[in-house]
Amino acid sequence: MITLKKRYEAKNLKEDEIILDIETTGLDSSIDSLVLLGIIEKIDGKAYIYQYFAQDDSEEQRLLEIYKRKISDKKVITYNGDTFDIPFLNNRLIKHKDFPLLPQDLDLLKLIRPYNKFFDFESLKLNDIEKLAGFYRNDPSRYKTFSKLTNDLKRRTNPYPIMKHNENDLIATEKIVYIEKYFEDKLSIDSNLSPITLLNCDINNDVARISLRSQNLLKESYFNGENYELIIKGRTIIINLQVLYGILNRDVKGYVSINNFEIKNETSLSIDEHFLIIRENFKYNHKNLLTLAKKIIESHL
């Protein structure tokens, strides 16, 4: 087994948490093996990257024992770990006649995925999301082709590029632990009563349900407008807005509302100023939604 320990400045990790990422010979845990276990752990205020590389299948069980020991009483933070890492490790534990583990965990991909309706991500892959936190990895150039990484993992004759790739995954995951704050800032706007944050928007037939949260407690209220209703309860704000579906240009379909508040459309599309874009194809226009919510709330309170 090859073991590596490296000091790392982890600004987003608590002592009761660990970052976890694994590398395997393939995606099928019934026949593929665990090759590399990577962890970031903080002890007595100092964080370290730990990597354990199995040079052949006979060392897999040792990796699993290290995994069991490391996650004891820890919250496990991963990227796509609920779908891949944790189930794979559990199936390998079962294969070695051991009990599967159900650690307290946080899968950052699950946290990020709902924001896909508001933002144009290059993709939801970690090596694209990490750029939002200012991290640009220096993976070995050969691993720009995924098949080459898979081949190296199966052969195990060149461990260090694989370990560098895994290290980058660990660092990227640590850097985006608080990525939700980034999105919340983008989805917030100040009003004369309180800062408000856009939580969700869904369209059912001709009604868009816009869900928001107020930073301050607001008076329970109900108001009707020309094409909307406003419901406020505590910090919860709901706006039900009438919308129209149509073709916005040759390539874009979407939903608009009547632009009663004369809001300037935040869009690259050319559109009649009497309409406010709510959704373009499958992306909700969060800037328009926030400005509209602010106008509606301030017109009544």
Residue 32 lies in a domain: yes
Q: What is the pLDDT of residue 146?
A: 47
Q: Judge whether residue 273 has pLDDT over 50.
A: yes
Residue 16 lies in a domain: yes
Strand partners, 42: 47
How many independent structural domains does the chain possess?
A: 2
Boundary (domain end) residue, out of 176, 203, 231: 176
CA distances from 247 to 206, 224, 244, 264 (A): 15, 28, 10, 19
Same domain assignment for residues 165 and 257: no
The secondary structure of residue 82, as a DSSP letter, is I
Q: Is 260 or 144 the better-scoring residue by pLDDT?
A: 260
pLDDT per residue over 96-154, tens digit each?
999 999 999 999 999 999 999 999 999 999 999 999 999 998 876 555 544 455 667 77
pLDDT per residue over 225-244, tens digit each?
999 999 999 999 999 999 99
CA–CA separation, 269 and 288 (whole Å): 13
Q: What is the span of the domain harbouring residue 284? A: 189-299
Residue 182 lies in a domain: no
CA–CA separation, 107 and 82 (whole Å): 6
Q: Judge whether residue 258 has pLDDT over 90.
A: yes
Same domain assignment for residues 261 and 294: yes
Residue 279 lies in a domain: yes
Same domain assignment for residues 147 and 67: yes
Residue 184 lies in a domain: no
Same domain assignment for residues 12 and 87: yes
| Torsion angle defined by CA atoms of residues 123, 128, 129 and 133, in that order, rounded to the nearest 10 degrees | -150
Report the percentage of the chain scoring pLDDT > 70.
96
Same domain assignment for residues 217 and 253: yes
Same domain assignment for residues 263 and 213: yes
Same domain assignment for residues 40 and 61: yes
Boundary (domain end) residue, out of 122, 147, 176: 176
- Residues 281 and 175: beta-carbon distance below 8 Å: no
Residue 226 lies in a domain: yes
Same domain assignment for residues 116 and 9: yes
How confident is the prediction for the chain on average, in pLDDT? 94
Token pair for residue 150? 């898979």
Q: What is the pLDDT of residue 288?
A: 98
Same domain assignment for residues 121 and 49: yes
- Residues 29 and 12: beta-carbon distance below 8 Å: no
Q: What is the pLDDT of residue 40?
A: 99
Boundary (domain end) residue, out of 145, 176, 207: 176
Going by their DSSP bridges, the two strands 105-107 and 75-78 should be labelled as parallel
Q: Which has the closest alpha carbon to 196: 206, 187, 183, 205?
A: 187
Residues with Cβ < 8 Å from 215, sequence gap 6 or more? Answer: 194, 195, 196, 197, 235
